[in-house]
Amino acid sequence: MFKKMLGIAPTLEDDGSYSPSKLALKLGVQTKTDYEEISYERYQGKRTKILVIFTEQKNMTMQNGKMFSTGNHPVEAIVPMLHLREAGFEFNIVTPTGKPVVFEMWAMPNEDEKVLNFYEEYKEQFEKPGNLSDFVSSSLGSDAAYAAVFVPGGHGAMLGIPEDNNVGEVLRWAHNKDLFTITLCHGPGSLLSTQLDGNEFIYKGYKMAVFPDSVDKQTPKIGYLPGQMPWGLSEKLAGLGVTLVNKKSDKTTQLDRKLITGASPLASNELGKLAAKTLVSKLT
């Protein structure tokens, strides 16, 4: 009751999960993003496609047993995609089994016309995405059409995707074919899938911008999370030989070889610009 009075109690949803408190939404969610419209020198080559792997899972069970209402963060997905589209790329949207994309709708920037318009334009694809397993079985040979794989962030990127063999196969395919991989915030959890089935973790020694565990540990105090995380992403990546380049959930981005990463939702615009400019310049 006291937490409710202060506005720091997570909000109980109909399915028993919790979304962030009123205070957490006020402090941590943008009503309008810092997206910049840029006139890019549009890519004119054949590698026009970007495979976008979204999560289809919603609820993350915290250490205390409470479920966090999560999914893909809309800003972390849509703002980079806006930049990439403006640079001349198109998207193949998939989820692990073809179920609808799950977004953290409480994080939708409801005063951002560009983001809202993009969401409405691609809504049918979000609701009826492709099946990643079908892509693995039928399309890995068509790498000449692809420029990159993009895994948006949101805590939901840590649900199922790091343990998905198809994700690991796609990321190893992108790595071996010299395609770019783009991800941010909690999205780098997907990179853990590359070590499944006894494979070597292919990003050992890479520099990455990743959402810090230290911040995740603090957010339950304001009701953003309903409890402590089930496991620490940045700690796990560091233990595999990754060099983390940020300590805050800020606008940090990092390009290391063909891997482009960003630290948090605040990095979405910078990540989009870096990815768009890098792909156009390196693929031309």
Q: Which residues are catalytic?
A: 185
Q: Can you read off the two tokens belonging to residue 33?
A: 């993003």
Q: Which residues contact 234 (CB under 8 A, 6 or more apart)?
A: 210, 211, 212, 213, 244
Query: Alpha-carbon distance 138 to 154, whole Å?
Result: 28
DSSP 261: E
CA–CA distance from 80 to each of 46, 215, 276 (Å)? 21, 23, 8
Phi, psi (degrees; rounded to nearest 5) at 77: -90, -50
CB of 174 closer than 8 Å to CB of 148 = yes
Query: Alpha-carbon distance 171 to 83, whole Å?
Result: 22
Q: Which residues contact 112 (CB under 8 A, 6 or more apart)?
A: 30, 31, 32, 33, 35
DSSP 99: P
